[in-house]
Amino acid sequence: MKKNKIITTDEILLTLCRSVERVLAAAGNPGVNHSPMVQKIQKTCLRPDLGCFVLFDGGFSGLVVINFTAQAAMEIYRRYLLSMGMPESELASFHTSDEVGNVMGELMNQIVGDFTGQVRLELQTSINQSQPKMMAINKQVQILINTQLDQPQARRVTFSTPDHNIFYMELAMDKTEFIQLGEFEKGVQTSPDDILQQAQQEQAQEQSNAAAQQADDDFLRDLGL
CB 51 within 8 A of CB 135: yes
pTM, two decimals, is: 0.79
- Whole-number Å distance between alpha carbons of 168 and 147: 23
Domain spans in the chain, listed from the N-terminal domain onward: 5-188, 190-225
* Total residue length of the chain: 225
Superfamily of domain 5-188: CheC-like (3.40.1550.10)
pLDDT one digit per residue (tens) for the chain, 225 residues? 457 788 899 999 999 999 999 999 999 999 999 999 999 998 888 888 999 999 998 888 899 999 999 999 999 999 999 999 999 999 999 999 999 999 999 999 999 999 999 999 988 899 999 999 888 887 766 666 555 677 889 999 999 999 999 999 999 998 888 888 877 676 666 666 665 666 666 666 666 666 666 666 665 566 555
List the alpha helices (DSSP H) in 69-189: 70-83, 98-123
Burial environment of residue 73 by CB neighbours within 10 A (0 to 12, 13 to 18, 19 or more): buried
120 beta partners: none
Q: What secondary structure letter does DSSP report for 123?
A: H
Which residues, including other chains, have CB under 8 Å from residue 17's CB and lie 6 or more apart?
Answer: 34, 157, 159, 169
Task: Report the C-alpha dihedral over residues 199, 54, 164, 102, rounded to 10 degrees.
Answer: 40
Burial profile 192-221: b = 16 or more Cβ within 10 angstroms, e = fewer: beebbeebeeeeeeeeeeeeeeeeeeeeee
Cα distances (Å, whole numbers) of residue 162 to 13, 22, 29, 76, 210: 22, 15, 8, 10, 37
**pLDDT for the residue numbered 40:** 94
Pairing of strands 33-41, 5-7: unpaired
**pLDDT for the residue numbered 93:** 93
**pLDDT for the residue numbered 42:** 86
Secondary structure class of 98 (helix, strand, coil): helix
